[in-house]
Amino acid sequence: MTPLESLRRRAETLHLHGLLAHWPELADSTWVEPLLAWEEAERARRSLERRLGCAHIGRFKPLADFDWNWPTQCDRTAISELMGLDFLHSATNVILVGSSGLGKSTIAQNIAYQAVLHGHTVLFTTAGQLLNDLAALDSDSALRRRLRHYAAPSLLVVDEVGYLSYSNRHADLLFELINRRHETRSTLITTNRSFSDWAEVFPNAACVVALIDRLVHHAEIIALKGESYRHKEAREHAEQRSRKRKATAGSTP
Protein backbone atom coordinates (compact mmCIF):
# COMPACT_ATOMS: atom_id res chain seq x y z
CA MET A 1 0.00 0.00 0.00
CA THR A 2 1.40 3.38 -1.02
CA PRO A 3 1.49 6.34 1.41
CA LEU A 4 -1.38 8.01 -0.47
CA GLU A 5 -3.46 4.83 -0.33
CA SER A 6 -2.78 4.62 3.40
CA LEU A 7 -3.94 8.21 3.88
CA ARG A 8 -7.10 7.55 1.88
CA ARG A 9 -7.84 4.44 3.97
CA ARG A 10 -7.50 6.52 7.15
CA ALA A 11 -9.88 9.14 5.74
CA GLU A 12 -12.39 6.41 4.88
CA THR A 13 -12.15 4.98 8.39
CA LEU A 14 -12.88 8.45 9.78
CA HIS A 15 -15.81 8.88 7.33
CA LEU A 16 -14.47 12.23 6.12
CA HIS A 17 -16.74 12.27 3.08
CA GLY A 18 -16.07 15.90 2.13
CA LEU A 19 -12.33 15.27 2.01
CA LEU A 20 -12.82 12.02 0.09
CA ALA A 21 -15.07 13.74 -2.48
CA HIS A 22 -12.15 16.04 -3.39
CA TRP A 23 -9.41 13.50 -2.82
CA PRO A 24 -7.71 13.72 -6.26
CA GLU A 25 -6.95 17.43 -5.88
CA LEU A 26 -6.26 17.39 -2.12
CA ALA A 27 -4.36 14.14 -1.52
CA ASP A 28 -0.93 15.69 -2.12
CA SER A 29 -1.54 18.64 0.22
CA THR A 30 0.87 18.76 3.14
CA TRP A 31 -1.94 19.45 5.62
CA VAL A 32 -3.86 16.22 4.93
CA GLU A 33 -1.73 13.92 7.09
CA PRO A 34 -1.70 16.28 10.13
CA LEU A 35 -5.46 16.76 9.76
CA LEU A 36 -6.04 13.00 9.83
CA ALA A 37 -3.73 12.61 12.83
CA TRP A 38 -5.57 15.36 14.75
CA GLU A 39 -8.95 13.82 13.96
CA GLU A 40 -7.79 10.34 14.99
CA ALA A 41 -6.34 11.63 18.26
CA GLU A 42 -9.46 13.63 19.11
CA ARG A 43 -11.80 10.74 18.36
CA ALA A 44 -9.65 8.38 20.45
CA ARG A 45 -9.73 10.87 23.34
CA ARG A 46 -13.49 11.29 23.15
CA SER A 47 -14.01 7.52 22.87
CA LEU A 48 -11.88 6.91 25.97
CA GLU A 49 -13.69 9.65 27.86
CA ARG A 50 -17.07 8.19 26.91
CA ARG A 51 -16.12 4.62 27.81
CA LEU A 52 -14.67 5.70 31.16
CA GLY A 53 -17.89 7.55 31.93
CA CYS A 54 -19.99 4.51 31.06
CA ALA A 55 -17.76 2.14 33.05
CA HIS A 56 -18.50 3.73 36.46
CA ILE A 57 -15.19 2.51 37.87
CA GLY A 58 -14.89 5.34 40.39
CA ARG A 59 -11.76 6.48 42.19
CA PHE A 60 -9.19 3.82 43.02
CA LYS A 61 -5.61 3.25 44.10
CA PRO A 62 -3.29 2.23 41.23
CA LEU A 63 -1.60 -1.15 41.56
CA ALA A 64 1.75 0.67 41.61
CA ASP A 65 0.77 1.82 45.13
CA PHE A 66 -0.68 -1.54 46.21
CA ASP A 67 1.00 -3.13 49.24
CA TRP A 68 1.70 -6.60 47.83
CA ASN A 69 3.42 -7.66 51.05
CA TRP A 70 0.36 -7.15 53.23
CA PRO A 71 -1.89 -10.08 52.18
CA THR A 72 -0.44 -13.35 53.43
CA GLN A 73 -1.65 -14.93 50.18
CA CYS A 74 -1.91 -13.02 46.90
CA ASP A 75 -0.77 -14.34 43.51
CA ARG A 76 0.86 -11.22 42.10
CA THR A 77 1.96 -13.02 38.94
CA ALA A 78 -1.59 -14.12 38.15
CA ILE A 79 -2.91 -10.60 38.75
CA SER A 80 -0.21 -9.12 36.50
CA GLU A 81 -1.26 -11.56 33.78
CA LEU A 82 -4.88 -10.44 34.17
CA MET A 83 -3.75 -6.85 33.64
CA GLY A 84 -2.56 -8.04 30.21
CA LEU A 85 -6.27 -8.67 29.39
CA ASP A 86 -5.76 -11.93 27.49
CA PHE A 87 -8.67 -13.40 29.47
CA LEU A 88 -11.07 -11.09 27.64
CA HIS A 89 -10.25 -12.66 24.28
CA SER A 90 -11.28 -16.12 25.53
CA ALA A 91 -14.33 -14.90 27.51
CA THR A 92 -12.72 -16.23 30.69
CA ASN A 93 -14.28 -15.17 33.98
CA VAL A 94 -12.27 -13.93 36.95
CA ILE A 95 -13.19 -14.62 40.58
CA LEU A 96 -11.37 -12.75 43.36
CA VAL A 97 -12.09 -14.43 46.71
CA GLY A 98 -11.06 -13.08 50.10
CA SER A 99 -12.21 -11.41 53.27
CA SER A 100 -12.97 -7.70 53.43
CA GLY A 101 -10.16 -5.17 53.20
CA LEU A 102 -7.59 -7.17 51.22
CA GLY A 103 -7.78 -5.17 47.99
CA LYS A 104 -10.18 -7.21 45.85
CA SER A 105 -12.08 -4.13 44.69
CA THR A 106 -8.85 -2.22 44.02
CA ILE A 107 -7.54 -5.04 41.85
CA ALA A 108 -10.86 -5.29 40.02
CA GLN A 109 -10.93 -1.53 39.40
CA ASN A 110 -7.39 -1.58 38.00
CA ILE A 111 -8.24 -4.43 35.63
CA ALA A 112 -11.41 -2.63 34.54
CA TYR A 113 -9.51 0.62 33.93
CA GLN A 114 -6.85 -1.20 31.92
CA ALA A 115 -9.59 -2.77 29.78
CA VAL A 116 -11.11 0.65 29.06
CA LEU A 117 -7.70 2.05 28.09
CA HIS A 118 -7.33 -0.78 25.56
CA GLY A 119 -10.64 -0.05 23.87
CA HIS A 120 -12.94 -2.54 25.61
CA THR A 121 -16.40 -1.71 26.91
CA VAL A 122 -16.63 -2.12 30.68
CA LEU A 123 -19.28 -1.80 33.38
CA PHE A 124 -18.39 -1.81 37.08
CA THR A 125 -21.18 -2.29 39.63
CA THR A 126 -21.80 -3.81 43.03
CA ALA A 127 -23.96 -6.88 43.50
CA GLY A 128 -26.46 -4.81 45.47
CA GLN A 129 -26.78 -2.13 42.79
CA LEU A 130 -27.06 -4.68 39.99
CA LEU A 131 -29.62 -6.98 41.58
CA ASN A 132 -31.78 -4.23 43.08
CA ASP A 133 -31.80 -2.45 39.72
CA LEU A 134 -33.00 -5.58 37.93
CA ALA A 135 -35.49 -6.59 40.64
CA ALA A 136 -37.13 -3.14 40.64
CA LEU A 137 -38.31 -3.48 37.04
CA ASP A 138 -41.99 -4.33 36.85
CA SER A 139 -42.37 -5.26 33.18
CA ASP A 140 -40.85 -8.05 31.13
CA SER A 141 -39.86 -5.68 28.33
CA ALA A 142 -38.03 -3.33 30.72
CA LEU A 143 -36.27 -6.27 32.35
CA ARG A 144 -35.15 -7.65 28.98
CA ARG A 145 -33.73 -4.25 28.00
CA ARG A 146 -31.89 -3.93 31.30
CA LEU A 147 -30.49 -7.46 31.05
CA ARG A 148 -29.19 -6.60 27.57
CA HIS A 149 -27.55 -3.51 29.08
CA TYR A 150 -25.65 -5.61 31.63
CA ALA A 151 -24.94 -8.42 29.18
CA ALA A 152 -23.40 -6.15 26.53
CA PRO A 153 -20.00 -4.99 27.94
CA SER A 154 -16.83 -6.88 27.10
CA LEU A 155 -16.12 -6.91 30.83
CA LEU A 156 -18.74 -6.80 33.58
CA VAL A 157 -17.39 -6.37 37.11
CA VAL A 158 -19.75 -7.36 39.94
CA ASP A 159 -18.20 -6.24 43.22
CA GLU A 160 -19.08 -7.33 46.77
CA VAL A 161 -21.00 -10.55 46.16
CA GLY A 162 -21.60 -12.05 49.59
CA TYR A 163 -21.82 -8.96 51.77
CA LEU A 164 -25.63 -9.10 51.71
CA SER A 165 -28.20 -11.86 51.39
CA TYR A 166 -30.63 -11.92 48.49
CA SER A 167 -33.99 -13.39 47.59
CA ASN A 168 -34.72 -16.20 45.15
CA ARG A 169 -35.70 -13.60 42.56
CA HIS A 170 -32.32 -11.90 42.92
CA ALA A 171 -30.60 -15.26 42.46
CA ASP A 172 -32.66 -16.04 39.36
CA LEU A 173 -31.83 -12.64 37.85
CA LEU A 174 -28.11 -13.06 38.47
CA PHE A 175 -28.23 -16.54 36.93
CA GLU A 176 -30.05 -15.19 33.88
CA LEU A 177 -27.41 -12.50 33.41
CA ILE A 178 -24.43 -14.82 33.90
CA ASN A 179 -26.03 -17.35 31.56
CA ARG A 180 -26.37 -14.69 28.85
CA ARG A 181 -22.70 -13.79 29.18
CA HIS A 182 -21.47 -17.40 29.51
CA GLU A 183 -18.69 -18.22 26.99
CA THR A 184 -19.23 -14.94 25.10
CA ARG A 185 -18.03 -12.20 27.47
CA SER A 186 -15.94 -12.05 30.63
CA THR A 187 -17.39 -11.40 34.07
CA LEU A 188 -15.24 -10.45 37.06
CA ILE A 189 -16.66 -11.22 40.50
CA THR A 190 -15.28 -10.16 43.87
CA THR A 191 -16.62 -12.05 46.86
CA ASN A 192 -15.86 -12.49 50.53
CA ARG A 193 -17.51 -15.93 50.55
CA SER A 194 -16.26 -19.26 49.30
CA PHE A 195 -18.61 -20.90 46.82
CA SER A 196 -19.64 -23.42 49.49
CA ASP A 197 -21.16 -20.47 51.40
CA TRP A 198 -23.12 -18.99 48.50
CA ALA A 199 -26.20 -20.89 49.62
CA GLU A 200 -26.24 -18.44 52.54
CA VAL A 201 -26.00 -15.48 50.18
CA PHE A 202 -28.93 -16.81 48.13
CA PRO A 203 -30.83 -18.92 50.68
CA ASN A 204 -33.26 -21.49 49.25
CA ALA A 205 -32.47 -20.47 45.67
CA ALA A 206 -32.62 -23.49 43.36
CA CYS A 207 -30.23 -21.99 40.80
CA VAL A 208 -27.17 -21.47 43.05
CA VAL A 209 -25.36 -24.61 41.88
CA ALA A 210 -26.05 -23.79 38.22
CA LEU A 211 -24.96 -20.17 38.79
CA ILE A 212 -21.63 -21.23 40.28
CA ASP A 213 -21.18 -23.80 37.51
CA ARG A 214 -21.54 -21.10 34.81
CA LEU A 215 -19.14 -18.77 36.62
CA VAL A 216 -16.33 -21.27 37.18
CA HIS A 217 -16.66 -23.18 33.88
CA HIS A 218 -13.98 -20.98 32.26
CA ALA A 219 -12.58 -18.97 35.15
CA GLU A 220 -9.41 -17.75 36.79
CA ILE A 221 -9.96 -18.01 40.56
CA ILE A 222 -7.58 -16.05 42.78
CA ALA A 223 -7.74 -16.26 46.57
CA LEU A 224 -6.48 -13.46 48.81
CA LYS A 225 -5.85 -14.10 52.50
CA GLY A 226 -4.74 -11.96 55.41
CA GLU A 227 -5.88 -9.25 57.80
CA SER A 228 -7.94 -6.33 56.53
CA TYR A 229 -5.73 -3.56 55.17
CA ARG A 230 -8.25 -1.02 56.45
CA HIS A 231 -7.93 -2.49 59.95
CA LYS A 232 -4.14 -2.21 59.60
CA GLU A 233 -4.37 1.45 58.56
CA ALA A 234 -6.81 2.24 61.37
CA ARG A 235 -4.49 0.63 63.92
CA GLU A 236 -1.47 2.51 62.56
CA HIS A 237 -3.34 5.82 62.66
CA ALA A 238 -4.44 5.14 66.23
CA GLU A 239 -0.85 4.38 67.22
CA GLN A 240 0.35 7.59 65.56
CA ARG A 241 -2.26 9.65 67.40
CA SER A 242 -1.31 7.96 70.68
CA ARG A 243 2.39 8.73 70.17
CA LYS A 244 1.56 12.33 69.26
CA ARG A 245 -0.54 12.78 72.41
CA LYS A 246 2.22 11.29 74.57
CA ALA A 247 4.83 13.54 72.96
CA THR A 248 2.62 16.59 73.51
CA ALA A 249 1.97 15.62 77.13
CA GLY A 250 5.70 15.04 77.73
CA SER A 251 6.61 18.48 76.42
CA THR A 252 3.99 20.29 78.53
CA PRO A 253 5.51 21.91 81.67
pLDDT over 70 percentage in the chain = 93
pTM: 0.81
Spell out the domain ranges in the chain.
Answer: 3-48, 63-231
Average pLDDT, the chain: 91
Neighbours of 105 (CB within 10 A): 20
CA–CA distances in Å: residue 22 to residues 37, 131, 172: 19, 53, 57
7-54 pLDDT, tens digit per residue, is: 999 999 999 999 999 999 998 999 999 999 999 888 888 888 888 999
At the fourth CATH level, which superfamily is domain 63-231?
P-loop containing nucleotide triphosphate hydrolases (3.40.50.300)
60-119 pLDDT, tens digit per residue, is: 999 999 988 888 899 999 999 999 999 999 999 999 999 988 999 999 999 999 999 999
Can you give the chain as a three-state secondary structure string? CCHHHHHHHHHHHCCCHHHHHCHHHHCCCCCHHHHHHHHHHHHHHHHHHHHHHHHCCCCCCCHHHCCCCCCCECCHHHHHHHHCCHHHHCCCEEEEECCCCCCHHHHHHHHHHHHHHCCCCEEEEEHHHHHHHHHCCCCHHHHHHHHHHHHCCCEEEEEEECCCCCCHHHHHHHHHHHHHHCCCCEEEEEECCCHHHHHHHCCCCCCHHHHHHHHHHCEEEEECECCCHHHHHHHHHHHHHHHHHHHHHHHCC
- The Cα 87–Cα 155 span in angstroms is 10
